[in-house]
């Protein structure tokens, strides 16, 4: 069913769900006091550091930092999208997921298209079983009955209207087939007044089947629903592979063939291997290498990579050893640059000439094929080897060219440990100190002699000057009163209804004050029962990351103590505001940038009597 899931339902669902039951059905939990512990399911460890807190409906691993709610656990552990996790959790607690439609948005016919595609996939499977020529071809290609069933492989008959006769009896049915990418609209020219067809307007002339006489591979989403198809020609013909076109459901730059099957085969995937063909994936899975997936006739895109790294931390690209395979590998490396960082592994495996994964795994079997993975090139080794092969590194000119060629590529890698180590490795090849190479490539810290950069919003410059306070910035340390108040609200959202919020709080102009006011206002208008409900409610808010980090920090577990701390923090914020505002205006006055209104405000603040609290420094 299409439509938005109401927020009130999500709140109720998270509040009703038992996180112990959800996680305990997948991970063996052991009770220890008020909490439950286990070895973390998201990284290898011998001593349990994974903790589930039923009072907060929250889990946290002190080893790898994984944390979240019952919904978040389902998304991470079962590799589900948010909507799918909501549906799974609702089914567990016996609730039906409601949907609401925006009256200004036309409902999408996605459900109808999914239904059409699934019916067509079943039709193709029946056609496969009914044609001895096709079943013989599948046997000759080494596909077992189990593999054919697991991947739902079928056959598109050698006819122009097989689907139309079966599923396109009305104009509406034909339009749905067109929207699903299963048929193509014909064009014919009408005749003009002179009777010359070449002068007439182009008019539609019905439809014809897109796929004909092809082995059909259904491409499925994470729930196993058919999104589109890939078709391989049976005998001779071009193109060898034909994919569904871009549709409302199918986007080949995002989808990966075999990903659904890989998730079904291995609940806790640690590695995915990207190959180039449908048959490669099917044969590798059949051999027991069930972590193989394939792009759909395109180079690996940034969307592909983001999707892969949401599931695993190790990705292996497997390519033929010919020129086309090496070109595809380099395109994959270029697209992977923004995804490279510590904790992730990207490797490249090149097969012997004349072999693809399909033929090689059939010839040498699983063990020998997987043994080749041990010799796969790391990202850094392939990066440096490929660039070095393009120059003469025996000469100064060649090494200089290597550094210059690498510079724009290295710039795309996020700053961090991995980039520094890669620059170190490049420096050894170039024959230069890493710091010097980094400086020349403009990747490191600011070169000497340049003016210091302006401080970031909410930070302090080297001269002690504070820039204008930013209303949305919120760090995650412990010192700020605003941060302290927000942290308590994250852990104990229900106490917002029990406190009086000073009216002056809205005038506070400090980093994070806007978030604090927004949080208090929402919690008073729409009370929240637990931290888990709060985090799910704020999941799409720009400040979610700050709230998420604060959820991992310690705070008073006693409700009364938390309430007292929150009230104290708010009172101190109000008391300290005049002094902080005065200091900020005085700092700004030194630059000569005060407006007339700000000058009047400063005069009033300086002439006002100061209480004992605000007078303290």
* Mean pLDDT of the region 406-424: 90
Q: What is the pTM of this model?
A: 0.60
Average pLDDT, the chain: 82
Q: Which helix (H) or strand (E) holds 52?
A: strand 50-53
Architecture of domain 390-440: Up-down Bundle (1.20)
Burial of residue 215 (CB within 10 Å: 0-12, 13-18, 19+) is buried
* Per-residue pLDDT at 560 exceeds 70: yes
Report pLDDT for 602.
66
Could you report the per-residue pLDDT of 33-70, keeping only the tens digit for each?
888 999 998 888 888 999 998 888 899 998 888 898 99
Report pLDDT for 542.
82
Report in angstroms the alpha-carbon separations of 201 from 74, 191, 195, 197, 205.
55, 7, 12, 8, 12
Establish whether domains 7-93 and 259-384 are of one fold: no
* Per-residue pLDDT at 532 exceeds 50: yes
CA 363/CA 368 separation, integer angstroms: 10
* Mean pLDDT of the region 298-308: 87
Domain spanning 259-384: CATH 3.30.210.10: no
**All structural domains of the chain with their residue ranges:** 7-93, 110-186+204-243, 259-384, 390-440, 481-615
Q: Which residue has the higher pLDDT, 554 or 497?
A: 497
Q: HSE (CB half, 13 Å, CA atoms) of 77? A: 20
Report pLDDT for 342.
76
Report pLDDT for 476.
42
Q: Which helix (H) or strand (E) holds 274?
A: strand 271-275
Q: Other CB atoms closer than 10 Å to residue 303's CB: what's the count?
A: 14
Could you report the per-residue pLDDT of 370-401, keeping only the tens digit for each?
999 999 999 999 999 999 999 999 999 999 99
Architecture of domain 110-186+204-243: Alpha-Beta Complex (3.90)
CA 383/CA 393 separation, integer angstroms: 15
pLDDT band at 317 (very low <50, low <70, confident <90, very high): very high
Could you report the per-residue pLDDT of 243-296, keeping only the tens digit for each?
999 998 999 898 999 999 998 888 678 899 999 999 999 999 999 999 999 999
* Per-residue pLDDT at 608 exceeds 70: no
**Of all residues in the chain, what percent carry a pLDDT higher than 70?**
84
Q: Other CB atoms closer than 10 Å to residue 468's CB: what's the count?
A: 12
Report pLDDT for 613.
46
pLDDT band at 468 (very low <50, low <70, confident <90, very high): very low
CATH class for the domain made up of 481-615: mainly alpha
Could you report the per-residue pLDDT of 84-143, keeping only the tens digit for each?
888 888 877 777 888 776 555 444 557 789 999 999 999 999 999 999 999 999 999 999
* Per-residue pLDDT at 470 exceeds 60: no
Report pLDDT for 511.
78
Architecture of domain 7-93: Alpha-Beta Complex (3.90)
Report pLDDT for 132.
95
């Amino acid at each position: 069913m299409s439509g938005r899931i109401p927020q009130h339902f999500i709140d109720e669902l998270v509040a009703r769900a038992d996180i112990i039951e959800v996680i305990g059905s997948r991970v063996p939990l052991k009770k220890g006091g008020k909490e439950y512990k286990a070895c973390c399911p998201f990284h290898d460890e011998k001593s349990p550091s994974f903790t589930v807190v039923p009072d907060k409906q929250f889990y946290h691993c002190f080893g790898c930092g994984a944390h979240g709610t019952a919904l978040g656990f389902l998304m991470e552990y079962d590799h589900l999208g948010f909507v799918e996790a909501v549906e799974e959790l609702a089914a567990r607690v016996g609730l039906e997921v409601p949907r609401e439609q925006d009256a200004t948005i036309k409902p999408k016919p996605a459900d109808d298209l999914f239904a059409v595609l699934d019916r067509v996939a079943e039709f193709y499977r029946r056609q496969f079983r009914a044609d001895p020529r096709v079943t013989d071809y599948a046997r000759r290609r080494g596909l077992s009955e189990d593999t054919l069933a697991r991947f739902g492989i079928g056959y598109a008959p050698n006819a122009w209207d097989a689907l139309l006769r079966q599923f396109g009896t009305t104009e509406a049915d034909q339009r749905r087939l067109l929207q699903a990418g299963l048929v193509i609209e014909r064009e014919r020219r009408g005749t003009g007044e002179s009777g010359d067809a070449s002068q007439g307007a182009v008019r539609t002339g019905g439809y014809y089947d897109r796929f004909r006489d092809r082995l059909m591979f259904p491409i499925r989403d994470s729930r196993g629903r058919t999104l589109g198809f890939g078709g391989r020609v049976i005998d001779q013909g071009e193109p060898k592979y034909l994919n569904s076109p871009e549709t409302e459901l199918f986007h080949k730059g995002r989808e990966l063939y075999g990903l659904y099957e890989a998730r079904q085969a291995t609940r806790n995937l640690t590695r995915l291997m990207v190959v180039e063909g449908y048959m490669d994936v099917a044969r590798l899975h059949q051999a027991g290498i069930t972590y193989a997936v394939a792009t759909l006739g395109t180079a690996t895109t940034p969307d592909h990579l983001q999707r892969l790294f949401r599931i695993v931390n190790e990705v292996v690209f497997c390519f033929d050893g010919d020129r086309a395979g090496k070109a595809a590998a380099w395109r994959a490396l270029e697209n992977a640059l923004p995804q490279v960082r510590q904790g992730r592994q990207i490797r490249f495996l090149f097969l012997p000439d004349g072999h693809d994964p399909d033929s090689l795994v059939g010839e040498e079997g699983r063990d020998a094929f997987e043994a080749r993975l041990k010799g796969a090139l790391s990202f850094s080794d392939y990066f440096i080897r490929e660039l070095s092969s393009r120059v003469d590194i025996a000469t100064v000119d060649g090494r200089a060219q290597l550094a210059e060629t690498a510079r724009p590529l290295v710039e795309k890698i996020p700053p961090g440990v991995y980039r520094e180590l890669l620059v170190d490795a490049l420096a050894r090849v170039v024959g230069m100190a890493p710091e010097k190479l980094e400086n020349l490539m403009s990747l490191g810290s600011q070169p000497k002699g340049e003016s210091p950069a302006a401080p970031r919003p909410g930070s302090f410059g080297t001269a002690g000057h504070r820039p204008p306070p930013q209303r949305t910035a919120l760090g995650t340390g412990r010192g700020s009163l605003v941060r302290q108040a927000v942290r308590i609200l994250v852990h104990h959202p229900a106490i917002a209804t029990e406190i009086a919020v000073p009216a002056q709080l809205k005038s506070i102009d400090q980093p994070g004050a806007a978030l604090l006011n927004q949080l208090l206002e929402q919690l008073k208008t729409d009370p929240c029962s637990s931290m888990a409900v709060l985090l799910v409610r704020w999941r799409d808010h720009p400040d979610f990351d700050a709230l998420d980090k604060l959820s991992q920090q310690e705070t008073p577990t006693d409700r009364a103590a938390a309430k007292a701390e929150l009230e104290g923090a708010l009172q101190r914020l109000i008391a300290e505001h005049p002094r902080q505002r005065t200091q900020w205006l005085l700092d700004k006055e030194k630059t000569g940038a005060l407006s007339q209104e700000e000058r009047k405000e400063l005069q009033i603040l300086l002439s006002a009597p100061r209480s004992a609290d605000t007078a303290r420094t």
